[in-house]
Structure 1
């Protein structure tokens, strides 16, 4: 394949204008999505979706396949026209015909957009030129991105020799080259092994420290909990609920659970534990006491101390917390992976 060939299908968003460094936009959202609607014939794939992302924030769109995530980000990236609603990136209106806002955006699609015959470094250099990066800046940024995605030691290898996870990491690196204000990641860990998946997540975690806004779509609950500052639960083309993990958990009113197993005076311990302000209830189950309370990680030290002072010698302490799977089931009536 010639190095002057056009980019592969599904390639990262670029523009045909010179790259300009992103300007800081403290105090205003990097991305604002208002009332997006997209129909395909009789199917309304996206139905009034609204959300915003601040600088340095990672926002997750969490939902099953077919929920409307990819259609939403296609409109956010200006690849697909909305039937209604508006998208702005740093205050600049986005759309298929708009060029200016795409300078400030990086898109990492589900489909790999890399040249298999080129090395990792050559891929980055090629896409850097498409973004208008000059020679010295392109070389410096390529080295920075290779380090961030953990591929410095494989920089000279052809990417056709890479594992699936390494290709995914390079895919992310291409989206990062021009230091965008907003990076969009569309299910970047699909089909990779656990070790590669963890490496990808570590790379994404590092982005918030650079002040980059990230829109992350996934149907993996654990990824959303690990990476995202705020989460929008999307199903049937609509945002069903939005907030931090704790805000979403409060929707269903579920409490954390601490299970204490041990010997000694469990009855006295139960009485004392019921007096703790954080504890909602205490139930005896054989040799165990089961407590329901809020913010178990914060309260557990006081719980253990109180149980010990009341004559209960503990052999095991287990904490169980409600998760986003519970929230999703509550809101939609189905499991996340249905």
Structure 2
């Protein structure tokens, strides 16, 4: 087991930031921690890294208890935090060289690793530039290079795509998957559900400092009562007609909102034609029809009763 957290409790005065949280992360996983801002994601990460003291609980990394002075364990870890942490007075090359040098003392080995890290994030052409001369996306890439240059076995990415353009975001996500393919175990925190759904092999949904759902994206979606949602454009439908739609055996729920009918269908006996025939038989006009499969947002709604907050 690469990461084992048991009953972690962290408070800030009277505020409970992490509430008896437990999780295990196996070697080779991309483990996603999904939750809104303020849910306890970053606090949990900082506790795992022994950057914060906590009230109670136990944290083990690579089978050993994690402590602030556990330097041998820390050499196996790379951290790319939400706030970019580089030195403004150093160039791109000098920044990566400095952070790599915290773990790698052999000069030749360090040089090769710095070059490899720059190549990996495609920032070699900017090696003599200073951070203030980089775009937001390039600055994020530099931050990643500084965190991974020493080839850690466990890499933590805390909201690494915040504030970057879509092209840089996709590049970062692809890079994380490449790191995982090369043998690194990844912890990835985000409040962007689509990113977590795209790259993570297992996901923990966190709210109010606790993990409220855990599993692969397929396992999480299987916890829902429906496996398809229809969105039907409609100018007007009565409450009575919506109530009749809800009586159809395989309909879980039906509602009308802002010119559209939203119908959730169960996991069995799905027959969309029955819905359409019902509308035609009652002369209910309808336009385009969309079909959606469940998302992690639906899972979040099920367990929290609200949408994911930004």
Quickly name the TM-score band, shorter chain normalised: 0.7 to 0.9
State the Cα deviation string for residues 67-91 of structure 1 (Å, max 9, x = none): 0001100000110122111111111
Q: Which of 49, 56, 59 is residue 21 of structure 2 equivalent to?
A: 49
Q: 1:244 pairs with 190, 211, 216, which one?
A: 216
1:57·1:211 contact (CA, 8 Å) conserved in 2? no
Q: Quote the Cα distance in structure 1 between the aligned partners of 2:119 and 2:278.
A: 49
- Residue 269 of structure 2 aligns with which residue? 280
User: Which of 130, 137, 144 does residue 116 from structure 2 map onto?
Assistant: 144
SS in 2 for 1:87: strand
- Let me know the Cα RMSD of the aligned residues: 2.2
Query: 2:291 & 2:183 partners in 1: Cα distance?
Result: 33
Aligned partner of 1:11 in structure 2 is none
**2:91 is the alignment partner of 1:119:** yes
Q: 2 CA distance for matches of 1:97 and 1:139?
A: 27
CA shift, 1:63, in A, is 0.2
Q: 1:288 to 1:136 in 2, by over 3 A?
A: farther
If the length of structure 2 is used for normalisation, what is the TM-score?
Answer: 0.80
Q: Distance in 2 between matches of 1:65 and 1:258?
A: 30
Q: Report if aligned partners of 1:31, 1:182 keep a CA contact under 8 Å in 2.
A: no
Please tell me whether residue 205 in structure 1 is matched to residue 177 in structure 2. yes
Helix, strand or coil: the match of 1:191?
Answer: coil
Contact 1:32/1:53 (<8 A) preserved: yes
Residue 228 of structure 2 corresponds to 256
How much has 1:142 moved relative to structure 2?
0.9
| Structure 1 segments (4+ residues) deviating >3 Å | 256-259, 285-289, 316-319
Work out whether 1:78 is the aligned partner of 2:67.
no
User: 1:286: how far off?
Assistant: 4.6
> CA separation in 2, counterparts of 1:167 and 1:76?
25
Output the CA distance in 1 between the equivalents of 2:26 and 2:169. Answer: 26
How far 1:159 moved relative to its partner?
2.3
CA distance in 2, matches of 1:62, 1:286: 37
CA drift at 1:287: 8.7
| TM-score, normalised with respect to structure 1 | 0.74
In structure 1, the residue matched to 2:137 is 165
Contact kept in structure 2, 1:81 and 1:96, CA below 8 Å? no
Unaligned runs of 5+ in 2: 232-266, 280-287
SS at structure 1 position matched to 2:22: strand
Count of matched residue positions in the alignment of Structure 1 and Structure 2: 266
**1:333 offset after TM fit, Å?**
0.8
Per-residue deviation, residues 6-35 of structure 1 (Å, max 9, x unmatched): xxxxxxxxxxxxxxxxxxxxxxx1111111
Structure 1, residues 162-188: CA drift from partner, whole Å, max 9, x if none?
101111111111111111111111101
